């Protein structure tokens, strides 16, 4: 009896060590390349700022959907993660609305209804192909690296599931930067509207905000992959393995 209990305890105690060993800077480098791709789309006007951010929102939902399928060991855990994904969707929708308001503030067209039309038109244009390339390559890279890791569950937890919250931190910083720019560089027109007045093309503003988002996300992800302590990985483990059978 004791001989079977000891290995089990050792297995449970080494789980955090497994997450720590599974963390790799390589997915962070792939993330940086993905952000450079989105920056290219934005800088060349192939996509708008809000469309690029929509791609990252869908990326977050795909990551958590796959996490739900990989990590749910019980029906209770499965439905709990489905609830978390619903909350995530609502939060991401709020962020997208804020980005829409920011984009109509600094853009030439201040009609938010036209912005919604543009977002819907993304599905029927070549911009949908750009988004599809981004999502398929990134998700496919995750799945391939997890499969090649030899311990896909630990690898996914450390390199995809755990850093998922970083997306929200990046979006929050982009919103803060956008608000600061409106306060510092806006002027009131006769109609009572406020527009960004900068001595540069309007394309500079979304590029700056996206750089803030990308740098926040990349730096925090790199810190998680290289600087997390065993205690921090144990806390991550408790969140990801809450329905462990």
Each of the 245 residues of the chain gets a pLDDT tens digit; together they read 434 444 444 444 444 555 666 777 888 888 899 999 999 998 888 888 888 998 999 999 999 998 888 778 888 888 988 999 999 999 999 998 888 877 776 654 555 566 666 666 666 667 788 888 899 988 888 888 888 887 787 788 888 888 888 899 999 999 998 888 777 766 555 455 544 444 444 568 888 899 999 999 999 988 888 888 777 777 777 777 677 65
125: left (phi over 0), alpha (psi -120 to 50) or beta: beta
Q: What is the pLDDT of residue 147?
A: 86
pLDDT in tens, 32-85: 999 999 999 988 888 888 889 989 999 999 999 988 887 788 888 889 889 999
Query: Is the pTM for the entire model greater than 0.85?
Result: no
d(CA 215, CA 35): 9
Cross-strand pairs, 188? 194
* CA pseudo-torsion sign 201, 203, 207, 210: positive
CB distance 130 to 41 below 8 Å? yes
Domain boundary assignment for the chain? 26-227
- Two tokens, residue 237: 């483990």
* CA pseudo-torsion sign 14, 20, 155, 235: positive
Cross-strand pairs, 195? 187
CB distance 46 to 130 below 8 Å? yes
- Two tokens, residue 21: 């060993």
d(CA 60, CA 56): 6
CB distance 118 to 48 below 8 Å? yes
Q: What is the pLDDT of residue 191?
A: 52
CA angle 174–226–137, rounded 5-degree value:
60
Q: What percentage of the chain has pLDDT greater than the value 90?
A: 20
Q: What is the pLDDT of residue 123?
A: 66
- Among residues 227, 131, 221, which one has the least CA distance to residue 170? 221
d(CA 211, CA 207): 6
Q: What is the pLDDT of residue 72?
A: 81
Q: What is the pLDDT of residue 50?
A: 84
Distance of CA 112 to the CA centre of its chain: 24
């Amino acid at each position: 009896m004791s001989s079977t209990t000891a290995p089990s305890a050792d297995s449970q105690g080494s789980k955090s060590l497994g997450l720590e060993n599974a963390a790799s800077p390589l997915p962070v480098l792939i993330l940086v390349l993905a952000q450079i791709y989105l920056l290219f789309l934005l800088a060349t006007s192939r996509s708008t700022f809000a469309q690029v951010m929509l791609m990252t929102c869908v990326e977050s939902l795909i990551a958590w959907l796959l996490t739900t399928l990989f990590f749910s060991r019980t029906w209770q855990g499965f439905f709990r993660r489905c609830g978390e994904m619903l909350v995530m969707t609502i939060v991401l929708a709020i962020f997208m609305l804020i980005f829409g308001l920011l984009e109509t503030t600094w853009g030439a067209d201040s009609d938010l209804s036209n912005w919604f039309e543009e977002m819907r038109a993304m599905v029927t244009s070549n911009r949908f192909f750009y988004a599809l390339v981004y999502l398929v390559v990134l998700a496919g890279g995750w799945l391939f690296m997890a499969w090649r890791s030899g311990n896909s569950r630990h690898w996914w937890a450390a390199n995809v599931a755990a850093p998922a919250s970083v997306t929200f931190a990046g979006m929050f910083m982009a919103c803060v930067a956008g608000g600061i720019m409106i306060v510092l560089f806006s002027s009131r027109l006769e109609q009572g509207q406020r527009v960004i007045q900068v001595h540069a093309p309007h394309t500079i503003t979304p590029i700056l905000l996206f750089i803030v988002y990308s740098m926040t996300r990349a730096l925090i992800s790199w810190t998680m992959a290289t600087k997390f302590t065993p205690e921090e990985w144990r806390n991550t483990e408790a969140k990801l393995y809450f329905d462990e059978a």
